[in-house]
Amino acid sequence: MPDNSEHHRVVIIGSGPAGLTAAIYTARADLSPLVIEGIQPGGQLTITTEVENYPGFPEGIMGPKLMDDFRRQAERFGTSFITDAVSKVELGERPFRITIGKRSILGDVVIISTGATAKLLDLESVNRMMGHGISACATCDGWFFRDKEIVVIGGGDSACEEADYLTKFASKVTIIHRRDELRASKIMQQKVFDNPKIDFLWNHVVVDFIGTETEGLQGVKVKNTKTGVESVVKPQGAFFAIGHKPNTELFTGQLELDSVGYIITEPGSTKTNIPGVFACGDVQDSIYRQAVTAAGSGCMAAIDAQKFLAEQGG
Ligand code: NAP
């Protein structure tokens, strides 16, 4: 039976800074990339408010606006888009097959930029106040809490690193941890124990956030895990640091992933273990996780993909 699948030279899965930068570069190389942008296009920046650390915007820029500009730039050079979620990826042979519901797409190369998702608590108040006093990115949002009190939720390296970083701005940072012992490495633990601006609320979990989009955060309702007693602390900002989850479910069993699910790329490149499949952005980066580093690796993936296609004969 003839295969009526659409065939593209470059298929990019994911539409954050990494995927859209890969699109801009491959589009400008006349490869007419297809971006499958998911059902909530734009990645993590679309859930932040103002982005003040992306170079080139001295006055800052709103996250959604930045991603819209990335998208328009990619479109201008001939990128096409599908606003839907990929249901299946088959990377066993080239061209690779990507399925979206009933639609089947073939790609000579695939660039994966599906990102990572910060783990949050499943509370209605979190959805309502994300970007209005609640954040999951200290480097993105710490600046907004100058001389304010902040809580950081979590007990791993991220929580310690974020808490330490946030003391540059905040008058006081309290780490709320569900146990009485940090999971973080000893060196990070020492750093937070030595920091006079950091305090700890041990054996507590957050049960709710109090506040509104307009008033901001008014309080955090916590519960003692030993006694069950609930109380309210009153910071102006709350940062989640309970881990990130790379969005790699589609690739499990096909691509080499590390022990926590990030795609392993060859050092200094975006090559995965499958020739012709490249990964960029947070899906392969558990360390930097910045829009600008994601964009940089998207550019690398585009160049790696072009080189691969040229080596395959065009
Ligand atoms: P992590 O090590 O998985 O730590 C997550 C923390 O959040 C744990 O303390 C955990 O508590 C807590 N937590 C998880 N779910 C929770 C929930 N529902 N409610 C309350 N607390 C919850 O994640 P991470 O800190 O993001 O680190 C991820 C990886 O990156 C680690 O391998 C880490 O070493 C690495 N990393 C390294 C650096 C560095 O070297 N500079 C910096 C950042 C991250 P429990 O401890 O009770 O499980």
Nearest residue by C-alpha to atom 7 in ligand 1: 242
% of the chain beyond a pLDDT of 70 = 98
* pLDDT score recorded for residue 289: 86
Q: Do domains 6-117+245-311 and 120-240 have the same CATH topology?
A: yes
Q: Where exactly are the structural domains of the chain?
A: 6-117+245-311, 120-240
Does residue 155's CB lie within 6 angstroms of at least one atom of ligand 1?
Answer: yes
pLDDT in tens, 161-197: 899 999 999 999 999 999 999 999 999 999 999 999 9
Confidence class for position 2, pLDDT limits 50, 70, 90: low
Buried b (16+ CB within 10 A) or exposed e, 70-102: bbebbbebebebbeeebeebebeebbbbbeeee
Q: Global pTM?
A: 0.79
Q: From the centroid of its chain, how far is CA 61?
A: 18
Buried b (16+ CB within 10 A) or exposed e, 149-180: bbbbbbbbbbbbbbbbbbbebbebbbbbbeee
> CA–CA separation, 21 vs 111, rounded Å?
11
Q: Reply yes or no on whether the pLDDT at 3 is more than 80.
A: no
pLDDT in tens, 22-76: 999 999 999 999 999 998 888 878 766 678 889 999 999 988 899 999 999 999 9
Confidence class for position 128, pLDDT limits 50, 70, 90: very high
Does residue 164's CB lie within 6 angstroms of at least one atom of ligand 1?
Answer: no
* pLDDT score recorded for residue 105: 97
Q: Residue 270 in contact with residue 286, Cβ under 8 Å? A: no
Nearest residue by C-alpha to atom 37 in ligand 1: 157
pLDDT in tens, 188-226: 999 999 999 999 999 999 999 999 999 999 999 999 999
Does residue 157's CB lie within 6 angstroms of at least one atom of ligand 1?
Answer: yes
The domain 120-240: what is its CATH number?
A: 3.50.50.60
* pLDDT score recorded for residue 51: 81
Q: Please choose, from the candidates 232, 269, 241, 271, the residue with its C-alpha nearest in 3D space to the C-alpha of residue 255.
A: 271
* pLDDT score recorded for residue 218: 97
Nearest residue by C-alpha to atom 39 in ligand 1: 157
Q: Give Cβ neighbours of residue 187 (< 8 Å, ≥ 6 apart).
A: none
Does residue 233's CB lie within 6 angstroms of at least one atom of ligand 1?
Answer: no
Candidates 3.40.50.720, 3.50.50.60, 3.40.50.300, 3.20.20.80; CATH matching 6-117+245-311: 3.50.50.60
> CA–CA separation, 113 vs 125, rounded Å?
29
User: Chain-wide mean pLDDT for the chain?
Assistant: 95
Average pLDDT estimate for 263-292: 96
pLDDT in tens, 227-243: 999 999 999 999 999 98
Nearest residue by C-alpha to atom 15 in ligand 1: 242
Q: Give Cβ neighbours of residue 254 (< 8 Å, ≥ 6 apart).
A: 89, 90, 91, 92, 274
Does residue 104's CB lie within 6 angstroms of at least one atom of ligand 1?
Answer: no
Pocket test for ligand 1, best of 158, 160, 176 (most atoms within 8 A of CB): 158
Q: Which residues are catalytic?
A: 137, 140-141
> CA–CA separation, 45 vs 43, rounded Å?
6
48-50-52 Cα angle (round to 5): 120
Q: Reply yes or no on whether the pLDDT at 134 is more than 80.
A: yes
Q: Residue 17 in contact with residue 291, Cβ under 8 Å? A: yes
Q: Residue 158 in contact with residue 245, Cβ under 8 Å? A: no
* pLDDT score recorded for residue 20: 98
Ligand 1 centre distance from Cα of residue 121 (Å): 14
